């Protein structure tokens, strides 16, 4: 009897160990894929391994990742937000128009602050409408956010006259500057040293672009919110089982409303960043970025059925998309192939997730 008991323990432990190993591999595949991409493009793409290029990758992914941060909360809560692309565009237009209206009469810092707040408010209002209809009236999120997609698109084009709205204020440094500048071993904070003139500007090295700094701050904030607060715990609970969450005393309706406000607010932040980085507001600025933001969340391991996902995974997903786009440009590959590659990665992510779920059961 004793011998039988001893031999049964390893047999019972082996399946459990195998399931854990499969779970780890299923969750970490995106890391392996990202490393493989970096190695491939480093070996084949001239100039890929450079500080300037890596900073460009991060700066270009900032808007997508910021949108994806809000989308992460929505998807974990078993929802979807299809309106973020045009909410972003609307926020950029509102910001640019507010800049134009206030610039003649108010100091520059006040104008910039009010313009940014106006863009954020426009986004938050769209998210509030989404959340209230989804949570209170029980209309499917797909339908509501698709409707808001059209509403935000229409408002954006109406108030901008269907054309990009230029920003004439000197705000380019906010969107295109760096936190630090290195010149001959000396660091300068936020701006190029005043002593640098003419051709000397080529010797200045910018470190940490402002969009990347904003992206990192918001990523850390959202990671803390999701993993360390009651708000994050409720998000996982609602996405895992809404009925059980209601019975446990979680204010599900209020929480869902807040989640959709957060998603739209992150889209609005991306719109404000677009306005100050490219010195204009465009109603269709986020049209092509909506699917990229959702793709980043899915590639990062979040389940479209809710209850699973994290901010680090979304960060890795956004990095994969940005590296593919940058690598294709460096290699001179037709840009349309980017869509094929990213779509293939999305399908691969879903297949890996389903295979992991089946093997663990």
Summarised one tens digit per residue, pLDDT across range 53-77 is 999 999 999 999 999 999 999 999 9
CA atoms within 13 A on the CB side of 194: 0
User: Is position 175 within any domain?
Assistant: yes
What is the number of structural domains in the chain? 1
In eight-state DSSP terms, residue 310 is -
Question: 4 lies in a domain?
Answer: no
- Give the whole-angstrom CA distance, residue 151 versus residue 278: 24
Contacts of residue 208, Cβ cutoff 8 Å, sequence gap at least 6: 55, 178, 179, 180
Q: What is the pLDDT of residues 77-130, one digit of tens each?
A: 999 999 999 999 999 999 999 999 999 899 999 999 999 999 999 999 999 999
Give me the pLDDT at residue 197, please: 73
Q: What pLDDT band is residue 136 in, cutting at 50, 70 and 90?
A: very high
Average pLDDT over residues 174-184: 83
- Residue 15 inside a domain? The answer is no
Report yes or no on 5 lying in a domain: no
For 201-215, the pLDDT digits (tens) are: 777 778 889 999 999
Give the torsion sign (CA, 105, 106, 108, 111). negative
Q: What is the CATH number of the domain that holds 353?
A: 1.10.3470
The C-alpha atoms of residue 157 and residue 137 are separated, in whole angstroms, by 29
Q: Residue 259 sits in which domain range?
A: 33-360
Amino acid 359: pLDDT: 66
Q: Flag whether 193 is in a domain.
A: yes
Query: Is residue 18 predicted with pLDDT exceeding 70?
Result: no
CA 266 – CA 192 distance, rounded (Å): 30
8 Å CB contact between 117 and 262: no
- Flag whether pLDDT at 5 surpasses 50: no
Of the candidates 42, 139, 52, 83, the one whose C-alpha atom is nearest the C-alpha of residue 289 is: 83
Query: Does some domain include residue 3?
Result: no
Predicted pLDDT of residue 29: 84
Write down the mean pLDDT value for the chain: 88
Measure the CA dihedral 248/145/231/215, to 10°.
Answer: 160
Position with higher pLDDT, 353 vs 220: 220
Residue 23 lies in a domain: no
pLDDT at 26: 58
User: Is residue 28 a part of any domain in this protein?
Assistant: no
The backbone torsions φ and ψ at residue 265, rounded to the nearest 5 degrees and listed phi first, read -65, -40
């Amino acid at each position: 009897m004793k011998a039988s008991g001893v031999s049964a323990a390893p047999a019972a432990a082996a399946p459990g160990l195998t399931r854990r190993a499969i779970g780890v591999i299923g969750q970490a595949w995106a890391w392996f894929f990202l490393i493989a991409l970096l190695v491939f493009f480093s070996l084949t793409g001239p100039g890929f391994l450079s500080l300037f290029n890596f900073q460009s990758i991060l700066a270009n992914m900032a808007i997508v990742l910021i949108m994806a941060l809000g989308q992460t909360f929505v998807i974990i809560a078993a929802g979807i937000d299809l309106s973020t692309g045009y909410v972003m565009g609307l926020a950029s237009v509102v910001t640019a128009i507010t800049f134009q209206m206030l610039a003649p009469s108010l100091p520059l810092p006040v104008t910039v602050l009010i313009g940014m707040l106006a863009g954020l408010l426009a986004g938050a209002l769209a998210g509030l409408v989404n959340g209230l209809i989804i949570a209170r009236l029980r209309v499917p999120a797909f339908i509501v956010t698709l409707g808001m997609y059209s509403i935000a698109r229409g408002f954006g084009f109406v108030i901008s006259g269907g054309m990009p709205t230029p920003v004439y204020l000197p705000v380019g440094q906010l969107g295109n500057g760096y936190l630090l500048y290195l010149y001959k071993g000396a660091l300068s904070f936020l701006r190029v040293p005043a002593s640098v003139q003419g051709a000397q500007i080529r010797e200045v090295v910018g470190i940490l672009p402002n969009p990347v700094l904003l992206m990192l701050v918001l990523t850390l904030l959202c990671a803390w919110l999701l993993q360390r607060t009651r708000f994050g715990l409720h998000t996982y609970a609602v996405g895992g089982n809404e009925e059980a969450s209601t019975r446990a005393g979680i204010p599900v309706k209020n929480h869902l409303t807040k989640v959709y406000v957060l998603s739209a607010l992150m889209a609005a932040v991306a719109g404000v960043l677009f306005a100050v980085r490219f010195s204009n507001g465009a109603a269709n600025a986020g049209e092509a970025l909506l699917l990229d933001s959702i793709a980043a969340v899915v590639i990062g391991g979040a389940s479209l059925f809710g209850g699973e996902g994290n901010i680090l995974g979304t960060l890795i997903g956004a990095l994969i998309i940005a590296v593919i786009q940058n690598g294709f440009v460096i290699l001179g590959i037709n840009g349309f192939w980017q869509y094929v590659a990213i779509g293939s990665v999305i399908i691969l992510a879903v297949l890996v997730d389903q295979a992991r779920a089946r093997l663990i059961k």
